[in-house]
Each structure stands twice: as C-alpha cells, then as structure tokens.
Amino acid sequence: VFTVTSNSWEYTADGHALAYDAGAELIDMEFVQFHPTGMVWPPGVRGILVTEGVRGEGGILTNSEGKRFMFDYLPESTKNDYAATEDEAKEWVDATINHKKSEARRPPELSTRDNVARAIYVENKEGRGSPHGGVFLDISYQDSERVKKKLPSMYHQFKELADVDITTQKMEVGPTA
C-alpha cells in the first residue's frame, strides 16, 4: 500500500486488494502511523527503521539545502515545549548527555512522530529532500566513541547495510509506514 514500509517485502497488500475486489469497503486507510525515520538508501534497506534514540542523542534533521528545518514545523499548540533556537537545543542535548539539569527545552527533532514524518514529507514535496526521497539525520558532530557506545545497533546497521559511518556521515532517512 505504501512505497516505504517496515513490513517484510512479501507483504504487498494482497489481502486488501482481494477484499476490495470482493466488494469490501476499505475505510480509515489514512490512519496509519508513520515512523519518521526509516532508511531510504540503498534500495535493499529501504524501510528499515532508525531508532528515535538517534534524535534523542542529538541527531539533527536537515534538508538538501543544509537547513535544520524542524523549527519551522512545530505546531503552535506545543511550540513552547521545544527549543526556540539551535543553541537552546544544543544546551538540552549536552545537559541530557551529561546527566545534568537544564532549563533548556528539548530539540524540535523530538516532536511527535506524526509531526516529524509530515515535516519530512513536506520538505520532499517542496523540493528540499535528499536525493533518494528523504532528508538527512546527522549525529556526526557528536563524539564518535560515544555514538558507537550509545547507538551500537544504528552504527552497525548503517555501516554494514549502507556503507555509511554515522560518526562521520549523515544518514538518509524518511517516513516509513
């Protein structure tokens, strides 16, 4: 049903199609939760999920222009829950990493899944996406040994499946059904 999915490759919505062809009404098909960050490149790994822990450890989402875009997509109703500037977001990340208290608010990349997924979708729709239909998730500015220790599965997943070293390179990610 969806181009990018975390389901196994053999799940092709045949059941939905058979039911529809038999006269069933498919309802509420738009109510699918999208995980905002799944791998989008190379094709063989498309849809493998990227843990939200990467964003929690300070991962920054940028578009093809290098702009950190999530500040532009915070809903008015929750905008005050998130950092207003990159400096404030960095202060929150640094305090969290060092187990310290801070008055700083969390980074906009930690907005709700639906909001982050929608923001990535809009960035692509408006021509600011990555070459393969996502955006970039960057944690390479963090200490490489710390990244390997805190995110070992993500480090190995990208290194082995996409030949991307997340301690030195950006990850290409996008919404995944």
Length of the chain measured in residues: 177
Mean pLDDT of 145-169: 93
Per the DSSP assignment, residues forming a β-bridge with 62 are 68, 136
Domains, the chain, with CATH or none: 14-176 (3.90.700.10)
* Whole-prediction pTM: 0.83
List pLDDT tens digits, range 31-60: 777 778 888 888 778 888 888 899 999 999
For residue 51, what pLDDT is reported?
A: 86
Residues annotated as part of the active site:
35, 55
Express as a percent the part of the chain with pLDDT over 70.
Answer: 94
In this model, does residue 100 exceed pLDDT 90? yes
* Predicted confidence (pLDDT) per residue in 119-134, tens digit: 999 999 999 999 999 9
Q: What is the pLDDT of residue 15?
A: 84
- Structure confidence at residue 128 (pLDDT): 98
Residue 6: predicted pLDDT = 61
pLDDT band (50, 70, 90) for residue 74: very high
Instruction: Inform me whether the pLDDT recorded for 172 exceeds 60.
Output: yes
pLDDT of residue 3: 66
For residue 69, give Cα distances in angstroms to 38, 60, 147: 18, 9, 23
Whether residue 77 is predicted with pLDDT greater than 90 in this model: the reply is yes
Residue (of 143, 144, 140, 129) closest to 66 by Cα position = 129
